[in-house]
Amino acid sequence: TKTEVFTITEMREPALEKDNTDKKTRIFEQYVQPCLVELLGTMLFVFVGCSSVIGNVGTTGAIQPAVAHGLALAVLIMMFGQISGGHFNPAVSLCAYLCGGMELLLLVPYILAQMLGGMVGASFAKAVLPPGLYANSAGGALVVLSNDLVTVTLAEIIMTMFLTLVVCMGAINSQTQTPMAPFCIGLTVTANIFAGGMVSGACMNPARAFGPAVVANYWNHHWIYWVGPIGGALLTVTFVRFVLGDRKTRIWL
Amino acid sequence: TKTEVFTITEMREPALEKDNTDKKTRIFEQYVQPCLVELLGTMLFVFVGCSSVIGNVGTTGAIQPAVAHGLALAVLIMMFGQISGGHFNPAVSLCAYLCGGMELLLLVPYILAQMLGGMVGASFAKAVLPPGLYANSAGGALVVLSNDLVTVTLAEIIMTMFLTLVVCMGAINSQTQTPMAPFCIGLTVTANIFAGGMVSGACMNPARAFGPAVVANYWNHHWIYWVGPIGGALLTVTFVRFVLGDRKTRIWL
Amino acid sequence: TKTEVFTITEMREPALEKDNTDKKTRIFEQYVQPCLVELLGTMLFVFVGCSSVIGNVGTTGAIQPAVAHGLALAVLIMMFGQISGGHFNPAVSLCAYLCGGMELLLLVPYILAQMLGGMVGASFAKAVLPPGLYANSAGGALVVLSNDLVTVTLAEIIMTMFLTLVVCMGAINSQTQTPMAPFCIGLTVTANIFAGGMVSGACMNPARAFGPAVVANYWNHHWIYWVGPIGGALLTVTFVRFVLGDRKTRIWL
Amino acid sequence: TKTEVFTITEMREPALEKDNTDKKTRIFEQYVQPCLVELLGTMLFVFVGCSSVIGNVGTTGAIQPAVAHGLALAVLIMMFGQISGGHFNPAVSLCAYLCGGMELLLLVPYILAQMLGGMVGASFAKAVLPPGLYANSAGGALVVLSNDLVTVTLAEIIMTMFLTLVVCMGAINSQTQTPMAPFCIGLTVTANIFAGGMVSGACMNPARAFGPAVVANYWNHHWIYWVGPIGGALLTVTFVRFVLGDRKTRIWL
Ligand SMILES: [Ca+2]
Ligand SMILES: [Ca+2]
Ligand SMILES: [Ca+2]
Ligand SMILES: [Ca+2]
């Protein structure tokens, strides 16, 4: 069927399929464990991300935040991809669902877990980094760096399109799947921060924006970090479903 | 035969070989999809590349552009290599064709798709980055940094020779092929930017030069970014065909 | 049984299982070689780590130490993981034991080997780096950068939790094991140094702290680098044993 | 037998074993091609290495040279390892021979090819980089940065020991061999440059030192870059042959 499942069920232990598995265990492994993993992974990603931004003083450029975000994400997807798919990003979950890489039932719980994980991660960053630096950097929240909001939104759309394309082609689309997908996804984040970090902060992830916005109570232009990433994800879905996907994924030809 | 095909057809879905495949689908998958992938991939590569150059102010050295170009290229080849070979570079397409890694029929369409992709990517960089920075950096176009044009051309030849050697040996020549070739190719770009970025900008790719040259209307010494990369590619072809290739690739011994 | 063994015995040469193996050889391979490998690996890790901190003058930010620690650790685990598991860190050994990835018999010898390796590595850093820089940096010992010791300890707990989670999920837990675990572990160290390096130095490893503390005789708040990493390791054990582990690893459901 | 061969013959095309292979072809593939590959690879490595040092002005720290050397080496070993073993370093060839990873017959030709490659690579760096920068940096030759020559030699010994250990354990010793060895070897160079670059330049490779020494006619303390790396290689041989190697490699127990 069209609605194939990503890495979530594919790599399950064989015993899972059997009827004699305890029902509680099956529910835990299919629903509870993946959601907890999304929460924990997003927490660690946002903790590292916010801390690397808050502490990036006296250095030049975006190298430290760019590399920290990219590596943390790559490692977390490599670790948790087999359990939850390793999204840690509502735009990625939406895109994975629409490209046939995730069950509908998990979509809303994943997004809630990611938003909660973002808040917890941002709280730990606040607890740990020096208050002066925390205040100066809006707690690692995303800050719009241009007056032209259309430009900023466009930047988020393009960069998230790139990111979600790597997710769909590298981890879902069977013709192009690769075990290196986690590194590809993380390193796309690094490259994008070098490309558009000085325009929009290169968020590409509403949960990364939402967590520190809540904790630092910083909401300036927050909508951009939902509209841009979701727009980019929908663009990717269009490309994959009409042009880039394999026969199983394409909805024509 | 000598004219082996790279990754383009090798990894196709098995159904493709069967006669009962719709002819329209077969044409789409063998000609249309690869060209669209070259366009999209070159667009994303040139967008990230130009943006990382335009925004590289207040930092020291070439780390941000070097890493951004390298990672974006590595990831795009990893994603799209199975569909189009993942060239995103006219010098690479020429070299792949001459080393037996690509059909002649696709050569001109690929190069046109890459040039168009470069223009679109450079346009997005112009749309997104602040106009002041855009103007200061010639929109990410390649800028010759020495009066000695022979030196600059030689730098492009040597660096492109290295880059295309990695493509031919890592992705085409069967004795030395490796699934890590996409990362090797991208990281060669990073290393070369550290080596020759301050001489010629370390372009190694006419499409990377052409896109922003059109968009920013900056054509100073533009020919160097065609002559150098093509010269380097031909040098690689000579080495691979006479010395480095396996028995199937070498044209003697 | 619950007490599965990590990579230590799994990848042994087949002959090892046979009875006709010399007993001395068997003891050498199962106990002596792993301990010597932990000593040598920790020595090289601490040598590179301390030297990269001592020599990080005139540069901005933590890029050099962050990348040096991460790459050295990644490479050493890749090389020696098949022999000793590649811990080089008492917190990792404790966590591996408690998650079923290591024999109890080796726990104390490993920790002693790691502490000794840390001392030898820090001595080589002292022998090699210029004395002026050595004195200015406390010989690469971990320096607490905040007056709020609870915060510093919390930072070490969170970061070590992340690091040991990557060890347990990537190298021990069979559902999520990956051959890329060594790189994931090393790159987690790099990301964490960008996140919390300016708070606590981002140690995550009592042997990394102990070696230069002895050699430079610098003991300020040294306990934090035992309490924090061990706390983080115990947190990981709790997560893995109750929530994240596969059926064999989880102690319920 | 003890004298196993590395990657040189192992991965040969099957036809090679057959008697009906042309003798000229066999000699070409077993002796001529590997030596030419060592020459070409060392040339590209030394070109990138010297250029990245010569052009490292106005930046802080060793990031650019460290990353350029490491990535260029990693990529070259990945490409050419199947043909020649991918040494590009006399200390590595010596160590590989003594650990059973290379034929004696090739040892001297390899070292000569590497020295010649270093000279050609350094010449290209001279031809391409601006003369002012070239003169300021001794043409990328290794410069001793301390008056204490024992310390400098010791630094080269320790760092080369680490590097050659990664070669022997990752690419020769069958228990610990890994397809990621080329990346491990390159990234060890990067880590070592961050550790000891400011003491001795972190050469670890007599051919890397010899090439620019000839071209720039800079011979101050040149002997250190032969004695240190060879000392480190011999230390590795001792460790591998007595302690770290698998049963086939160890000469006791
Ligand atoms: Ca279809
Ligand atoms: Ca032939
Ligand atoms: Ca259980
Ligand atoms: Ca033996």
DSSP string, B36-105: HHHHHHHHHHHHHHHHHHHT--SS-SSHHHHHHHHHHHHHHHHHHHHHH----SHHHHHHHHHTTSS-HH
Does residue D7 surpass a pLDDT of 50?
Answer: no
The mean pLDDT value for D18-33 works out to 86
Residues within 8 A of A (CB atoms), C 28-67 only: 60-63, 66
Q: Which residues of B touch A154 (CB under 8 A)?
A: 124, 127-128
Spatial distance between the Cα atoms of A235 and A240, rounded to a whole number of angstroms: 9
As given in the structure block, the two tokens for residue A143 are 């800050």
Tell me which residue in C65, C78, C124 faces D178 most closely, judged by beta carbons.
C78
Query: Looking at residue B13, what is its pLDDT?
Result: 45
Size of interface A-B (CB pairs under 8 A): 113
Q: Which residues of D touch B184 (CB under 8 A)?
A: 74-75, 78-79
Cβ–Cβ of A61/B65 closer than 8 Å? no
The overall average pLDDT reported for chain D is: 93
SS3 labels along C10-24: HCCCHHHHCCCCCHH
HSE-CB of D34 using CA atoms within 13 angstroms:
27
CA of B124 to the centre of ligand 2 (A): 46
- A151: closest chain B residue by CA: B128
Distant-in-sequence, close-in-space partners of D4: CB < 8 Å, separation ≥ 6: D100, D101, D172, D174, D248
CA of B179 to the centre of ligand 1 (A): 27
DSSP-derived secondary structure letter, A15: G
Percentage of residues of chain B with pLDDT beyond 70: 92
The overall average pLDDT reported for chain C is: 93
Does residue B105 surpass a pLDDT of 90?
Answer: yes
- C244: closest chain A residue by CA: A33
Cβ–Cβ of C247/A13 closer than 8 Å? yes
| Residue B233 CB neighbours (<10 A) | 30
* pLDDT (tens digit per residue) in D164-220: 999 999 999 999 999 999 999 999 999 999 999 999 999 999 999 999 999 999 999
The overall average pLDDT reported for chain B is: 93
CB proximity D184 to B under 8 Å: no
Spatial distance between the Cα atoms of C204 and C178, rounded to a whole number of angstroms: 22
Tell me which residue in D68, D124, D130 faces B146 most closely, judged by beta carbons.
D130
């001109």: which residue's tokens? B108
B75 vs chain A: nearest CA distance in angstroms?
5
Query: Among residues C5, C122, C155, which one has the least CA distance to residue C53?
Result: C122
Cβ–Cβ of A68/C188 closer than 8 Å? no
């390793």: which residue's tokens? A86
Tell me which residue in B55, B72, B79 faces A176 most closely, judged by beta carbons.
B79
| Residue A222 CB neighbours (<10 A) | 17
Does residue D19 surpass a pLDDT of 70?
Answer: no
A217 vs chain C: nearest CA distance in angstroms?
21
Q: Are D114 and D226 in contact (CB under 8 A)?
A: no
Q: Are D166 and D240 in contact (CB under 8 A)?
A: no
* pLDDT (tens digit per residue) in C206-241: 999 999 999 999 999 999 999 999 999 999 999 999
Tell me which residue in B58, B65, B71 faces A60 most closely, judged by beta carbons.
B58
DSSP string, D56-69: --SS-SSHHHHHHH
Query: Hey, CA dihedral for C126, C128, C132, C133, is it positive or negative?
Result: negative
- Name the band, by pLDDT with cuts 50, 70 and 90, for residue D21: confident
Spatial distance between the Cα atoms of C72 and C185, rounded to a whole number of angstroms: 11
Cβ–Cβ of D195/C67 closer than 8 Å? no
CA of B172 to the centre of ligand 1 (A): 29
In the chain, the amino acid numbered C41 is G
A168 vs chain B: nearest CA distance in angstroms?
9
What pTM was estimated for this model as a whole? Answer: 0.95
The mean pLDDT value for C14-40 works out to 84
Subunits with 3+ Cβ pairs within 8 Å of D are: B, C
D55 vs chain B: nearest CA distance in angstroms?
7
* pLDDT (tens digit per residue) in C51-60: 999 999 878 8
Q: Are C99 and C237 in contact (CB under 8 A)?
A: yes
Query: Hey, CA dihedral for B90, B95, B96, B102, is it positive or negative?
Result: positive
A51 vs chain C: nearest CA distance in angstroms?
5
Does residue D91 surpass a pLDDT of 90?
Answer: yes
Phi-psi region of C140 (alpha: psi -120 to 50; beta: other; left: phi over 0): left
Q: Which residues of C touch D77 (CB under 8 A)?
A: none
Cβ–Cβ of C83/D198 closer than 8 Å? no
If residue A17 lies in a helix (H) or strand (E), which one and from where to where?
A: none
Does residue C160 surpass a pLDDT of 60?
Answer: yes
Query: Among residues D37, D62, D64, D86, which one has the least CA distance to residue D202?
Result: D62
Query: Among residues C116, C125, C7, which one has the least CA distance to residue C68?
Result: C125
| Residue A19 CB neighbours (<10 A) | 6
Spatial distance between the Cα atoms of B182 and B86, rounded to a whole number of angstroms: 9
Q: Are B90 and B162 in contact (CB under 8 A)?
A: no
Spatial distance between the Cα atoms of A226 and A211, rounded to a whole number of angstroms: 13
B236 vs chain D: nearest CA distance in angstroms?
11
Q: Which of D152, D165, D194, D246 to mutate to test the interface with C (most CBs of C within 10 A)?
A: D194
Query: Among residues B114, B132, B93, B110, which one has the least CA distance to residue B45?
Result: B114
The interaxial angle of helices B104-128 and B90-98, nearest 10 deg, is 160
CA of A141 to the centre of ligand 1 (A): 42
Q: Are B134 and B51 in contact (CB under 8 A)?
A: no
Cβ–Cβ of A48/C243 closer than 8 Å? no
Query: Where are the alpha helices (H) located in chain D, listed in sequence order?
Result: 7-10, 23-27, 33-54, 63-84, 90-98, 104-128, 131-136, 149-167, 181-200, 206-216, 224-239
Distant-in-sequence, close-in-space partners of B182: CB < 8 Å, separation ≥ 6: B74, B75, B77, B78, B81, B86
D158 vs chain B: nearest CA distance in angstroms?
25
Q: Are A28 and C253 in contact (CB under 8 A)?
A: yes
Q: Which residues of B touch D79 (CB under 8 A)?
A: 165-166, 169-170, 176, 184
* pLDDT (tens digit per residue) in B22-52: 899 999 999 999 999 999 999 999 999 999 9
CA of B25 to the centre of ligand 1 (A): 8
Cβ–Cβ of D146/C130 closer than 8 Å? yes
Query: Where are the alpha helices (H) located in chain A, listed in sequence order?
Result: 7-10, 23-27, 33-54, 63-84, 90-98, 104-128, 131-136, 149-167, 181-200, 206-216, 224-239
Does residue B11 surpass a pLDDT of 50?
Answer: no
Cβ–Cβ of B187/D71 closer than 8 Å? yes
| Residue A5 CB neighbours (<10 A) | 16
Q: Which ligand is nearest to the CA of C249?
A: 3
Instruction: With H, G, I as helix, E, B as strand and everything else as coil, classify residue D31.
Output: helix
Tell me which residue in C37, C48, C82 faces D195 most closely, judged by beta carbons.
C48
- Name the band, by pLDDT with cuts 50, 70 and 90, for residue B163: very high
Q: Which stretches of chain A drop beneath a pLDDT of 70?
A: 1-20
If residue D218 lies in a helix (H) or strand (E), which one and from where to where?
A: none
CA of A104 to the centre of ligand 1 (A): 21
Query: Looking at residue B10, what is its pLDDT?
Result: 43
Query: Looking at residue D20, what is its pLDDT?
Result: 66
Subunits with 3+ Cβ pairs within 8 Å of A are: B, C
Instruction: With H, G, I as helix, E, B as strand and everything else as coil, classify residue D103.
Output: coil
As given in the structure block, the two tokens for residue D38 are 């060592």
Query: Looking at residue B139, what is its pLDDT?
Result: 97
Spatial distance between the Cα atoms of A72 and A23, rounded to a whole number of angstroms: 34
Query: Among residues A218, A44, A193, which one has the least CA distance to residue A125?
Result: A44
Query: Looking at residue B125, what is its pLDDT?
Result: 98
- C14: closest chain D residue by CA: D175
- Name the band, by pLDDT with cuts 50, 70 and 90, for residue B5: very low
The mean pLDDT value for B64-91 works out to 98
B135 φ/ψ angles, rounded to the nearest 5 degrees: -65, -40
Please state the length of chain A.
253
Q: Are D118 and D43 in contact (CB under 8 A)?
A: yes
The C-alpha angle D50, D56, D61, rounded to 5 degrees, equals 115
Spatial distance between the Cα atoms of A139 and A22, rounded to a whole number of angstroms: 44
Spatial distance between the Cα atoms of A170 and A185, rounded to a whole number of angstroms: 8
Query: Looking at residue A60, what is its pLDDT?
Result: 80
As given in the structure block, the two tokens for residue D225 are 């870059």
Q: Which residues of D touch B146 (CB under 8 A)?
A: 130
Query: Looking at residue C227, what is its pLDDT?
Result: 98
Tell me which residue in D62, D66, D176 faces C79 most closely, judged by beta carbons.
D176
Residues measured by CB to lie within 5 Å of ligand 2, the ion = B 247, 250
DSSP string, chain C: ------HHHHT--GGGGSTTS-HHHHHIIIIIHHHHHHHHHHHHHHHHHHHHHHT--SS-SSHHHHHHHHHHHHHHHHHHHHHH----SHHHHHHHHHTT-S-HHHHHHHHHHHHHHHHHHHHHHHHHS-HHHHHHTGGG------S-HHHHHHHHHHHHHHHHHHHIIIII-TTT--TTHHHHHHHHHHHHHHHHHHHH-----HHHHHHHHHHHT--TTTTHHHHHHHHHHHHHHHHIIIIIS-TTT-S--
CA of A231 to the centre of ligand 1 (A): 24
Q: Which residues of D touch C140 (CB under 8 A)?
A: none
Burial of B102 (0-12, 13-18, 19+ CB in 10 A): buried
The mean pLDDT value for D140-152 works out to 95
Query: Looking at residue C22, what is its pLDDT?
Result: 86
Between residues B113 and B22, which one has the greater pLDDT? B113
Q: Which ligand is nearest to the CA of B249?
A: 2
Does residue B92 surpass a pLDDT of 50?
Answer: yes
Percentage of residues of chain D with pLDDT beyond 70: 92
Query: Looking at residue B17, what is its pLDDT?
Result: 53
Q: Which of C10, C78, C208 to mutate to test the interface with D (most CBs of D within 10 A)?
A: C78
Does residue D63 surpass a pLDDT of 80?
Answer: yes
Spatial distance between the Cα atoms of C18 and C15, rounded to a whole number of angstroms: 5
The interaxial angle of helices B63-84 and B33-54, nearest 10 deg, is 180
DSSP string, B123-142: HHHHHHS-HHHHHHTGGG--
